[in-house]
Amino acid sequence: MGLLVAGCSSPAKEYATPSSLCDVAVPSDLLDPFLPAGKKLSSVPKNDVQGVTRCRLVVDGKTVVSASTEWYEKTLREVAGAPYNEVEVDSSTTPDKRYIYAAKGGIGLVDCQDPKRPDQRLVASVRVTRGTEDETRMKKLITAFTEGVAGPAECARRRLG
């Protein structure tokens, strides 16, 4: 009987949950539910275009969470219509209309201005590509990530040089 129970136990996370997402501080307890069991976690940055910051969290070679910040002239609702964000135009929206989120993704309007981009707004996004889907937890994660990006140092990093 003991062998049967041991054989049915679920795999564990053999890595530590980070306390940042794309180098932006977020509480690890908000990120942890979206990370699956596995042996190794790595963060892969990808900054191909000026004004766009992207990264992926990879567990055992598979992308599990993606995050980005990007400057847009579009409204948050228009950004929500893009298929890569994992949110739909009719997804849940906070009363202040700063966040739109669903079980697999969220976007947030960052309180950060760039004098060289007066007509653009900075938008943060988080997307889960594998693992847990949870709308309530996504709202908390996208809020924390967006607020972290709005910090003075992070905002400054995303402005035009």
Q: Compute, in degrees rounded to 10, the torsion defined by CA atoms 137, 141, 143, 146.
A: -160
Q: How far apart are CA 138 and CA 132, in angstroms?
A: 10
Over residues 93-137, the pLDDT tens digits come to 999 999 999 999 999 999 999 999 999 999 999 999 887 889 999
Which position has the higher pLDDT, 108 or 157?
Answer: 108
Please report the beta strands in the chain, taking only residues with DSSP state E, as ranges in sequence order. 20-21, 24-25, 41-46, 52-59, 62-72, 92-93, 99-101, 105-109, 121-128
Confidence of residue 8 (pLDDT cuts 50, 70, 90): low
pTM, entire model: 0.89
Buried/exposed 75-93: b ≥16 CB within 10 Å, e otherwise: ebeebbeeeebbbeeebbb
Which position has the higher pLDDT, 68 or 51?
Answer: 68
Which residues, 6+ apart, have CB-to-CB distance to 95 below 8 Å? none
Pairing of strands 92-93, 99-101: antiparallel
Q: How far apart are CA 28 and CA 32, in angstroms?
A: 6
Which position has the higher pLDDT, 130 or 84?
Answer: 130
Give the closest residue to 66 by CA, choosing from 106, 121, 19.
Answer: 106
Average per-residue pLDDT in the chain?
Answer: 88
Give the closest residue to 53 by CA, choosing from 95, 23, 16.
Answer: 23
**Cα dihedral sign, 144-105-157-62:** positive
